[in-house]
Structure 1
Amino acid sequence: MNVGIIDYGVGNLGSVMRALEELRVTPNLITSPSEIDHNDCLILPGVGNFSECMKRLSDGGWPDAIKDSVAYGRPLLGICLGMQLLASSGTEGPIDEPLRNTPGLDLIKGSVQRLDRLGCNFRVPHMGWNSIIHHGAASPLFASIPDGTDFYFVHSYAFVTDSDQHLLATTSYGVAMTAAVGEGCVWGTQFHPEKSSRAGHRVLKNFLEIVAC
């Protein structure tokens, strides 16, 4: 199986690659949209700022290639900010324009909003281990992972889906918020599975098993 990790210049790829290697998969760093078709599935990592990452994706010609890949049926997993980029839009802008609304990949309808604007009164960012609760029927992404399992989070913004049917799991940090989303062959986790010990590796294994089906 060829697992492509989209490298658009945001770093933080090493831990994802190591986690996949521990699952006996050889990941491929994709540095150009033309390389997408050589892979069975894609992983979109992300760290930093929504608007800046979308600019990097756009400057590199990634959005249309990613959307075409998904339309073809190639599974995609977004991680942390990579999950947020799946949204229709995000309100995280540059430091000098923090509330600018930036279009996202629009693969799962919804918006990305700052935690305190969603009613969170705790310290932002939400950082550390926190438990998740399945929303509705358990997704194959969470096979063998019970409610209450802890994962590692680092984020100041959260994905607010337009429809509950795209919400796979939630977590609580002063307010209930999205922990995972999914639609068709597209999934996303707000937490870092590659940094979440056995449970996180199980999520990655489940994703690979979905791809292999």
Structure 2
Amino acid sequence: MTDGTVPPPPDTYLGDPAVRAEWDGRYADRENLWSGRPNGALVAEVADLPAGRVLDVGCGEGADAVWLARAGWDVTALEVSGVALERAAGHARDAGVTVHRVHAGLVEADLPAASFDLVSAQYPALLRTPGGAAERALLTAVAPGGVLLVVHHAGVEDHRPAEGGFDPADYVWPSMITALLDDDWHVEVDEQRPRVVPEGGAGAHHAEDLVLRARRLR
């Protein structure tokens, strides 16, 4: 696949086929779903961190992953959409950087525990489960001394369900992750702030971010 307009052939995808199909469809409908620029909150929050191993959760078309790799990070990019992941791979090749791709849902990927110095989830569409599997998967992936960075659109969590469509209650929000943090974690940032909005791309109408940055102490 070279133009990103159709899903790739079956591979070793780990996750819900319906979720993959939904996101493949969204990406296939547009040549570029996102702006192609790294998220502003990520750039700001990573500026003072030494490069190490990073997990980019829901990497999309790879703008964050490529930016992190250029900054010296060893990047693992996780994504449910094969269409998006192929685009991310192409952008990495064009940039001359290496990005390790994982085609899976966060929970189903079963990533090595405590193995990433940074886990970045920028506006993630993580489905809630009764046991908080997605939230716990984010926390488990962070190495001692490492940082979890979760950024989401402010105000969306409180929206009423759209008729026949998006229901915020179905998804994980930063407050749900904060509620799980114990004495093994130190919250460095937990705030709402104006968003650095890239030109173009889906979600450009959102003007405020929720930013959670927590460090795992042990």
- In which range does the TM-score fall when normalised by the shorter chain? 0.3 to 0.5
- Name the structure with the higher strand share: 1
TM-score by length of 1: 0.37
TM-score by length of 2: 0.36
